[in-house]
């Protein structure tokens, strides 16, 4: 058989963790990345090569205001224009909720795979375990695997959350190969969103009978200059964002029925390697214009630039937003964890975009009702010594509360609420976000046996950022007061 007929050249391109990296940037004087250029590269390769496959190893979502504004629908539309052949679910794909992800899957023009996410009671996978792509008679199988750490992120819908589990990647892989043992593929690729430190032990444990040829990974945002060869299959990953793309050039020997050669490289996506795809450019520009129109309006202003320089201390923005939360939810005091605020500074003009960047996650809000004595015990827990050293998330609080913390042991020397000792209050209503509520035992020291008796809970809201936007849009100029509400003395 002549060489041209004997050998089949297949180009396999892959991306991971694009995270809403839709806009080009300047890198060393070159326009780099952005979806129009990424798509332009895909179009170019599809014109130049006969057989091309494009795979995405998860986490298209989050990281851009456009994505958040349209709750992933814009991202799906743009991804449809990239036309991947297969997409593995990443942990951020569930950030808008599982139900929403399943809706978005219906909007996708490409297959979505993930073999280890299950509906528990039914023992049924939520997505396809694998997809087979045939190129000129060669069957290439992609099996999807997702990190188990996603279980922490399924947080929005209680009924769905408790019905879904993520199983061990390796255990599930064995199951998939057992299911498919009578339907072999010519090439088998694991498309994973595990992180390279999980891909490596996976590669080492692979059963040689499974015939895994490559692992294309994501999640750890690892840039590689060459494949990692630590186990039974080479591992590759394409960093993160849209500024580069992984490229395999595979040579399939038809006579021998196997891969005779392959190379891999990380290709930069820039104006030297690609031209903008006008279709993706069009869609992106439209989403961007609509988003800019909404998000570049001033939402409120502040009397000065207020800062948030660190997590384990009182900060101006921590004080300001704790006060705002107290006002919105009309509780006696609000405890806000400092890690909820991502901005280092805000003001004096604050747009919707600034607010969204500063508070990227939406939280539910809860009210706890407890006695003053119980609140004092809670305060002692959250300001114990370990909390100042980073062992716990750190809380700031609204102006009604004043605390004085003393000494290396961080004892609570004074605690007053609206001018009276905290301990003297018969009943106090305390506001917290959903993140603190879900971790109330660790963060707040509230034990299960106390609930409904010593500490009663009530959910006040499902979306604090929407409530904030609504409240802030009518508030004019905000001035911070009562700084120094958390004093420390030696």
Partner 1 sequence: MLKIDHREKNGDCRMTLTGQLDSTTAVELDNTLQLILPKTESLTIDCTRLAYVSSAGLRVLLSTSKTLSARKGLVLTDLTDPVKHILEVTGMTGFFTIR
**Interface contacts to partner 1, rule CB under 8 A:** 43, 47, 80-81, 277-279, 281-283, 286
- Enumerate residues 6+ apart whose C-beta is below 8 A from 29: none
Going through 352-478 in order, the beta strands assigned E by DSSP cover: 365-370, 395-397, 401-406, 411-417, 420-421, 428-433, 456-461, 477-478
In the complex, the smallest distance separating the C-beta of residue 283 from partner 1, rounded to whole angstroms, is 8
Give the C-alpha separation, 290 to 295, whole Å: 9
Comparison of 281 and 292: residue with beta carbon closer to partner 1: 281
Comparison of 278 and 407: residue with beta carbon closer to partner 1: 278
- Judged by DSSP in three states, 311 sits in coil
- Enumerate residues 6+ apart whose C-beta is below 8 A from 163: 119, 120, 121
Contact between 264 and 31 under an 8 Å Cβ cutoff? The reply is no
Comparison of 43 and 156: residue with beta carbon closer to partner 1: 43
Contact between 119 and 163 under an 8 Å Cβ cutoff? The reply is yes
In the complex, the smallest distance separating the C-beta of residue 108 from partner 1, rounded to whole angstroms, is 14
Comparison of 294 and 330: residue with beta carbon closer to partner 1: 294
Give the C-alpha separation, 47 to 471, whole Å: 52
* Cα→Cα distances 91→62, 96, 286, Å: 10, 11, 27
Report DSSP letters for 361-380, one per residue. S---EEEEEE-HHHHHHHHH
Comparison of 54 and 325: residue with beta carbon closer to partner 1: 54
Comparison of 43 and 338: residue with beta carbon closer to partner 1: 43
- Enumerate residues 6+ apart whose C-beta is below 8 A from 112: 87, 88, 89, 105, 127, 128
Comparison of 287 and 395: residue with beta carbon closer to partner 1: 287
Comparison of 128 and 279: residue with beta carbon closer to partner 1: 279
Maximum CA pair distance of the chain? 93
Q: Which of 15, 19, 80 is nearest to 360 (CA)?
A: 19
In the complex, the smallest distance separating the C-beta of residue 286 from partner 1, rounded to whole angstroms, is 6
Comparison of 83 and 119: residue with beta carbon closer to partner 1: 83
Q: What number of helices (H) and strands (E) belong to the chain?
A: 16, 30
Q: What is the CA radius of gyration of the chain?
A: 26
Give the C-alpha separation, 61 to 67, whole Å: 7
Comparison of 81 and 401: residue with beta carbon closer to partner 1: 81
- Judged by DSSP in three states, 226 sits in coil
In the complex, the smallest distance separating the C-beta of residue 281 from partner 1, rounded to whole angstroms, is 8
In the complex, the smallest distance separating the C-beta of residue 282 from partner 1, rounded to whole angstroms, is 6
In the complex, the smallest distance separating the C-beta of residue 279 from partner 1, rounded to whole angstroms, is 4
């Amino acid at each position: 058989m002549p060489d041209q007929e004997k050998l089949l050249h297949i180009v396999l391109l892959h991306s991971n963790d694009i995270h809403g990296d839709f806009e080009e940037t300047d890198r060393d004087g070159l326009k780099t990345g952005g979806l129009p250029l990424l798509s332009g590269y895909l179009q170019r390769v599809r014109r130049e090569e006969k057989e091309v496959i494009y795979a995405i190893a998860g986490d298209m979502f989050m990281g851009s205001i456009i994505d958040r504004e349209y709750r992933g629908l814009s991202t799906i539309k743009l991804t449809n224009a990239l036309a991947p052949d297969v997409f593995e679910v990443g942990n951020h794909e569930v950030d808008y909720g599982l139900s929403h992800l399943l809706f978005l899957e219906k909007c996708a023009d490409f297959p979505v795979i993930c073999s280890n996410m299950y509906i528990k009671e039914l023992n049924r996978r939520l997505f396809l375990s694998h997809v087979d792509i045939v190129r000129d008679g060669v069957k290439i199988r992609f099996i999807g695997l997702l990190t188990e750490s996603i279980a922490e992120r399924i947080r929005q819908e209680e009924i769905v959350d408790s019905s879904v589990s993520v199983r061990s990647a390796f255990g599930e892989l064995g199951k998939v190969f057992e299911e498919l043992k009578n339907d072999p593929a010519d090439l088998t690729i694991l498309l994973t969103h595990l992180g390279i430190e999980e891909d490596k032990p996976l590669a080492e444990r692979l059963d040689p009978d499974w015939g895994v040829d490559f692992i294309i990974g994501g999640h750890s945002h690892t840039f590689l200059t060459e494949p990692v060869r630590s186990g039974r299959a080479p591992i590759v990953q394409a960093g993160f964002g849209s500024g580069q793309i992984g490229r395999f050039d595979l040579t399939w020997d038809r006579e021998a029925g196997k891969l005779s050669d392959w190379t891999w490289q990380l290709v930069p996506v820039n104006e030297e390697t690609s031209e903008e795809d006008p279709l993706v450019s069009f869609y992106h520009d439209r989403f961007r214009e609509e988003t800019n129109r909404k998000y570049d309006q001033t939402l409120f202003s502040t009397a000065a630039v207020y800062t948030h320089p660190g997590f384990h201390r009182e900060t101006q923005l921590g004080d300001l937003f704790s006060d705002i939360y107290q006002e919105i939810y009309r509780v006696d005091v609000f405890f806000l964890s400092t890690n909820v605020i991502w901005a280092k500074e805000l003001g004096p003009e604050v747009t919707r975009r600034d607010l969204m960047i500063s508070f990227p996650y939406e939280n539910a809000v809860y009210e706890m009702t407890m006695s003053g004595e119980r609140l004092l015990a809670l305060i002692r827990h959250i300001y114990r010594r370990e909390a100042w050293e980073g062992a716990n998330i750190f809380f700031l609080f609204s102006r009604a509360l004043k605390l004085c913390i003393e000494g290396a042991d961080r004892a609570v020397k004074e605690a007053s609420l609206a001018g009276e000792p905290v301990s003297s209050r018969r009943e106090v209503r305390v506001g917290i976000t959903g993140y603190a509520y879900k971790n109330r035992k660790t963060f707040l020291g509230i034990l299960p046996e106390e609930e409904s008796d010593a500490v009663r809970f009530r959910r006040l809201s499902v979306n604090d950022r929407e409530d904030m936007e609504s409240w802030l849009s009518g508030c004019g100029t905000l001035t911070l007061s009562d700084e120094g509400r958390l004093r420390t003395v030696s």
